[in-house]
Structure 1
């Protein structure tokens, strides 16, 4: 087990693809979501904060161009020569194609930007937007779309005010795959009411779909979120770190070796966090997941043929 690769990490995948290390730079384009602006609801998901799970730089007055140049100037001196522009905050396909094109064209700011990652919702994907993305692929950029699914269980999606169904996800997923666009899926462990079996069922389902990539998140409580109210009123019980570690370790065994693991744990700043505090110690959590896998002889794909 000593030399066994535990899982296929994003860093190793990008290094294989581009021949050197590649850095993702997080961008806030100032967009919103259909369950925040009244189209489907207000307030967003119960765990969403005012930054839309991103940097919040747009609200601080930083234009997209300023954000890109800031991160390039930050990371180039650290030895990075290639970058992925990651449209992270809120839903980054939730606008008309003309608006989106103006935003996505930030790729042209610097030749060191080699690709683009688009974070969005399943109900904000259509053929017109996909064709826009294909234009950048035709120009030689590596492009993938990140879909926030969180869980396959519709009763949970309704409970967390997600505003879409698992069926909406499948429709968007298959449409993107029809046009050959890689899809990275976000899931959350610890959602209210979900058992260990339900969480692993989500992963097994994505394993069967053979998704291109996956991001694991531990549900945490940001300051100012609806979930904070639930927590204060003792309507929600936190997932313990040890349980999360064992969940992710087992989950990886149900994914094919081709799936790229983009993230093993959520990432947030301590000052934005109500609980659990261990989520702010991402590197420690990742280290514990790796150690758990080694100790229990687990690796990505081990149980894939059994699902």
Structure 2
């Protein structure tokens, strides 16, 4: 059976989508450009998001003290050993990559685009840090290269966003998404499942609400308690006070979630894995591709697919 997205996988997977779009393999290279966040530097708060330790998703070659082009070179060297003849997307991932002086931001992006093997940009940021002038810049360069803005939505619940010290509300996500899409920029949305205080019903409601937005991509992952974060410290003090997903429970939640997701949204990720030395819980001991396999197995067992219950 072929589904709305044109193939037989039971969800609209990122790998197939991006290979078709670029007619070949592309690989993200993470870049740490030395930015901060408004809920860290005192502009909107201090301490950052309660779940966050940026070291959990920073590759070894990715250091803010190293020039952008040099980070790209190191990333290409790392991936080219495994994936020859690959093109690359510069992924500004750590912290808020649209938070700074406009000229400094543009100069940083242009450094990445100056590399001959870089075929586009992915800009990770918050929905409340997208001035109109920067959106206009993204719109302009999108005519010559591939540009995606990835928004840290995290939750559609304002009470949750306040509790995790996010520093913005869900309306900010709605506004930013529509502004970007109107300017011709595809948008990725990032959600965390299992944030403190959220019931299963609340988490499934995220699928319905995000599906109302004109997003192109969706990334999910489980809440991870990690060293160096406020939540990690609280978890170590009183682990019984915090919800930790059992693997099978999480797989079932993801499948239920996917059933509610709009079929044309490209699903990039179901889970994440913090480095072993930083991860406190949950410790499933699986690689991401193994979790994908379990999700697909359950979808097949239930004879279901992405968007089956979407309305």
Task: State whether TM-score is above 0.5.
Answer: yes
Matched residues in 2 for 1:149 and 1:15: separation?
A: 26
1:112 CA displacement: 2.1
**1:94 maps to which of 89, 92, 99:** 99
1:224 CA displacement: 1.3
**1:289 maps to which of 272, 295, 298:** 295
Distance 1:279 1:221, change over 3 A: farther
Name the SS of the counterpart of 2:244 in structure 1: coil
Match of 2:129 in 1: 124
Trace 1:1-307 onto structure 2 (pairs within 5 A).
Answer: 4-51=8-55, 53-55=57-59, 59=63, 61-77=65-81, 78-138=83-143, 140-234=144-238, 235-278=241-284, 281-305=287-311
Name the SS of the counterpart of 2:123 in structure 1: strand
Matched residues in 2 for 1:135 and 1:191: separation?
A: 37
CA contact (8 A) 2:33 2:64 kept: no
Matched residues in 1 for 2:56 and 2:287: separation?
A: 21
User: Bigger shift: 186-195 or 232-241?
Assistant: 232-241
Matched residues in 2 for 1:229 and 1:272: separation?
A: 12
Distance 1:57 1:70, change over 3 A: closer
Distance 1:220 1:20, change over 3 A: same
Distance 1:71 1:59, change over 3 A: closer
Q: Give the TM-score taking structure 2 as reference length.
A: 0.92
- Can you list the C-alpha shifts for 1:37-64, whole angstroms capped at 9, x where unaligned? 1111111011111538534756563222
Matched residues in 2 for 1:50 and 1:208: separation?
A: 29
Distance 1:279 1:222, change over 3 A: farther
1:237 CA displacement: 2.0
Gaps of 5+ in 2: none
CA contact (8 A) 1:58 1:64 kept: no
Name the SS of the counterpart of 1:209 in structure 2: coil
Total equivalences in the alignment: 304
CA contact (8 A) 1:84 1:117 kept: yes
Matched residues in 2 for 1:45 and 1:97: separation?
A: 24
User: Bigger shift: 262-271 or 29-38?
Assistant: 262-271
